[in-house]
Amino acid sequence: MASRIVSPNPHLHAAVSTRSLMRDVVIALLPATAVSIVFYGWHELLLVAVSVASCVLLEWAITRYLLKKPSTIGDFSAVITGLLLALNVPSTCPWWVLAIGAVVAIGVAKMTFGGLGQNVFNPAITGRVFLLISFPAYMTNWAVPGSIGEAWGSSVVDAVSGATPLGIVKEGLASGMTLDEIYADNGFSYLEMLYSNLGGSAGELCVAALLLGFVYLLVRRVIKPHITLSIWASMFVFAGIFYLIDPSHFTDPVFNLLTGGVMLGSIYMATDYVTSPMSRSGMVVYGVGIGIITMLIRYFGAYPEGISFAILIMNAFVPIINRFCHNKKYGRA
């Protein structure tokens, strides 16, 4: 008789793997990546390539030479970190800054903790915040994209530099202007923000492309909507209250949702499996925390944008959230 497998149940598997899930996240990020390359040109392509290559190479080198374990780059998680890091910096950023960001993201935030699944803080955001603090000039040199293809004919140095909507508002309010005056000077519109040609990090360019990826992740059941939606809802409510109190000094809820890194952060980085809570109620607590901290930084903090800091701060609370938030158990209160 031929030898056969005897093992305990279940005898089938859903045929999802870490690799297939991570690959889906990469696919979801492709529209936003493509848009940023189309608008920002060769230099953006270089940034994406350098970032992804450094992350993957670094993880390979660390597993191979430091940990002396089998390589884990096949799980695609380093590709995601690389992509996110590149999308989180301005397209004018020098390429070597991204290489340094990759060292912090993969080397410090991920591999020192033991690699995928063990890290406390989201690697891409840790890398981004490190760069923001260390190279503030490079990290806030926002390029305003021109029309499609414009950037491809010229070098990046010629691109128009400008501030982000959030930055313009922060500076304007600090100089004593009211929001109406600031808007009148700059002429923002919601429609513009949706497909946007306003200044910002490369990946924040097109909200529509980011939303497309969100829908893909939901349809493929890669992530649950709880974290993202609770970030949006809490930001909307928080901003709504302040906007109702004083519309001349507090930006309105929709403006806050459509500007800065909210979409990129709430869809792709706050939902990182490893650094977010496991239960549905915990996800809501975590999302609301991110939303409120983001708005606190935007309204009252020194930085115009705060979602990166908010996610990092809430990452630190995940173990305690997991301790107290659990899904409903059958037959128990």
Partner 1 sequence: MANRTFSIGGSHTADKKLSKDCAIEVLPMPSTVYVSMNQHLGAPAKPLVAAGDTVKVGQVIGEPGGFISAFVHSPASGTVKSVAPRKDLAGNSTLCVEIAVEGDEWVEGVDLSDTLVKAVPEDRAFILDRIRLNGVVGLGGATFPAHVKLNPAPDKKAECLILNGSECEPYLTSDYRMMLEHPSEIIVGAAIMRRALGGCRCVIGIEDNKPEAVASMTKALDELKASGLEGYEDISILPLMKKYPQGGEKQLINAVMGREVKSLGLPIDVGAVVQNVMTAFATYEAVQKNKPLVSNVLTVTGDCLPIEKQHNYKFRIGMPLSYIAEYAGGVPEEAAKIVSGGPMMGKAIANLDAPTVKGSSSLLYLTEDQTRRGKESDCIRCGRCTEACPMGLEPFLLVKLARNAMMDELEANAVQDCIECGCCLYSCPAYIPLLDIIRIGKGDVMKIIKSRPRK
Give the interface with partner 1 as residue ranges (CB under 8 A).
1-2, 4-14, 16-18, 20-21, 72, 75, 77, 114-118, 224, 273-274, 276, 278-279, 326-332
Per-position DSSP letters for 182-202, written without gaps between them: HHHHH---HHHHHH--S-S-G
What's the closest the beta carbon of residue 9 comes to partner 1, in angstroms? 5
| In the complex, minimum distance from the CB of residue 273 to partner 1, in angstroms, rounded to a whole number | 4
DSSP 3-state of 144: strand
CA angle 283, 286, 288 (to 5 degrees): 105
* Cβ neighbours, 10 Å, residue 313: 16
Separation in Å, CA 130 to CA 78, 95, 100, 242, 289: 18, 15, 9, 31, 22
- Look at residue 15 and give its three-state secondary structure: coil
Cα gap 264→253, rounded to integer Å: 17
Closer by beta carbon to partner 1, 7 or else 175: 7
Closer by beta carbon to partner 1, 68 or else 332: 332
Rank residues 4 and 68 by Cβ distance to partner 1 and give the closer one: 4
Return the H-helix or E-strand segment holding 35: helix 18-40
Beta-strand runs (E) in the chain: 143-144, 160-161
| 3-class secondary-structure state, position 205 | coil
**Would you state the torsion angle of the CA atoms of residues 167, 171, 172, 178, taken in this order, to the nearest 10 degrees?**
90
* Nearest-approach distance from CB 232 to partner 1, in angstroms: 20
Nearest CB to partner 1, comparing residues 166 and 267: 267
Residue that the structure tokens 């925390």 belong to: 289
Closest to 188 (Cα-Cα) out of 241, 3, 221, 180: 180
Give the nearer residue to partner 1 in terms of CB position, either 80 or 85. 80
- Start-to-end CA span in the chain (Å): 52
* Helix, strand, or coil (residue 159): coil
Question: Residue 157 or residue 329: which is nearer to partner 1 going by CB?
Answer: 329
Residue closer to partner 1 (CB basis): 83 or 177: 83
Smaller CB distance to partner 1: residue 205 or 222? 222
Structure tokens at 190: 């919601």
